[in-house]
Amino acid sequence: MAANFARLPTPTIISLGKAGAVAQLTRACRAAMLDFVNGAPFWDKRALATWLVGKYAPLVKNVAQPPMPRRAVLVLEPRLVEILGDARHTLLACLRLARRNHAASAGAWRMIRLGALSPCEDEEARGWMPVSLPRMRLRDRLLSLWAVDYFADDSEYESSLAICARCQRVEFDALSVARSTCRAHSSAFSERPPRESITRMRTRGDR
């Protein structure tokens, strides 16, 4: 799905410089999205902070927040699990739609209306850049990464996006789409001997 800046009221296009910068940003957004969706079930507060600072922050345009008195906010573990789960489940629902012929395009355009995406360009190409808004929900930060990648090539979501039926791991792999399982669970199945072979071994008295 090509970037259509004409649909924006007054587009301010961010220049990323040399050719290839837009594609590099898009790949990094996908990588950060996959890191979250596959890692979040195992994360604590430190792991989330590491992702936000190391994976997410370098990719985004920051919108200035008006100065406000800061106060410490204590996030208890159950609340953290709830926030991570909400963000992950929202993304998984969006990814499932994205596999069905533009069904997720409304969600991607919602990110633009929200102000969570900004148009960008390099010497050869145009694309989108995620925007960090004040008081932005974690799920919207995650969806902005997805929208950048989805706008770049929605067809790959239809042909190569796989969500494992056993562990919900997300990967771009055509073979995993055909198997309906990730590579890890597919390997586990292939290494297990067929049931008939086990039965014959027991009948012969083999161990």
Examine residue 102 and state whether it is found in any structural domain, yes or no.
yes
Examine residue 183 and state whether it is found in any structural domain, yes or no.
yes
pTM above 0.75, yes or no: yes
Provide the CATH number for the domain around residue 122.
1.10.3300
Examine residue 121 and state whether it is found in any structural domain, yes or no.
yes
| Predicted confidence (pLDDT) at residue 147 exceeds the cutoff of 90 | yes
Domains held by the chain: number: 1
Range of the domain at 163: 5-64+74-204
pLDDT tens, residue by residue, 10-24: 568 899 989 999 999
* pLDDT for residue 8: 57
Examine residue 69 and state whether it is found in any structural domain, yes or no.
no
| Predicted confidence (pLDDT) at residue 139 exceeds the cutoff of 80 | yes
Examine residue 172 and state whether it is found in any structural domain, yes or no.
yes
CA distance 29 to 56: 8
